[in-house]
Structure 1
């Protein structure tokens, strides 16, 4: 078991407090999530579930799991530290006029690659949003999916029914309490893509309006002059109210807007680096 120094409190995750720490022996920075054992058994179950799922997922576009253990009446999860924070923070703090198309397509493709690995493992992320997309690398050019506290392993079934997640990103079938599967993550992915392009959430406002707009399949247009009709097409495909008509991660990776970036990322991944983005 590693020994760590706590550097600072980063905030709260789905449950528990999150700290930036460093390993004493080599000064490597890591993230430590601490969950009090006095909390409800359900929270501890979720924390163990997150550790179990993270351990299953080894991919450059997913936050890496290092360790988990009980100590001092707390459950600890040790994870990779993404030094540039979340995509949500990047948009909110920088308040750019618009993100470059290269950044948007690269970020989207890397999220898609991570999500493809998640779905290949028969897991639903269930809370895909800009707050759970982390930026790493020297120039914010490495993108990682994190926070698997409410993720679900499908095991021998294709769908689940628990209504859970962040309301602004919920798929219609989740809002309606219907069985749902991996296509619910595709809906959330479309919401994230729209948010990167428009710098605002696709569904926002009072909760009743958000749910009504989601169930009715409200569509909005991104800045076409910046991103083109191809990116708008991806958004529209992802937020189809019929989950059967939404694409899979594999079909999205074959989309004309994604193929060149996918190929570039695969070449650079083979060389253990990613292209620099402005």
Structure 2
């Protein structure tokens, strides 16, 4: 299996997680699966896992690590605790005409968390290896990469309007400022398409953030620490990991089109938080 050192995709989920009674060590004597083994099993079953063996083929990613955190003490809304995290490495450049596989990644994470307990999601932090979208020299333009995303957006059609959520989504380039210069172009590009998954109202360029989350990954995995960021304000079709996965892939593709060739840290949170479950 060929895992490139610069292809890390990471997700940290923040909020509350009530562990199922049958997994509570005070109730059940033992259980055999943890977040890591569950993620491996689920992504393997869906055909997304590249096996950890020499010259392995197929799949989207190789497994690095995963875990879920014990229930913390109650925390203020501005500092939601982390409940689970997942880290993989893409096993090759993303094929031309395809987006980053973030929706599959978060769908798998969602299934794993549901096996562990009942979660209420308040924020998500994602490391997006945008550089994996670079087409090799002489290859065709990535102009077709958005088409699968627009087709996938049909999954959210005719959804319950009451599930729509106001969100703020931050893209942070760390020590690379390119995302800031790309922000106006990204906003125009996002508004070009007839899609109802994410309606963007505005973009702001600021280093201020009232959502305080523990660092997702070490600085060495991307161009950290956090510094250059832009924030997109808008409405998401639903507050779910499926919708956030679609949006993350959409924004990663937009960034790549507008000159971003380094990893981006995406942070999504509710602007007006409803009482809703994960997914």
TM-score under structure 1 length normalisation: 0.25
Structure (1/2) with the larger strand percentage: 2
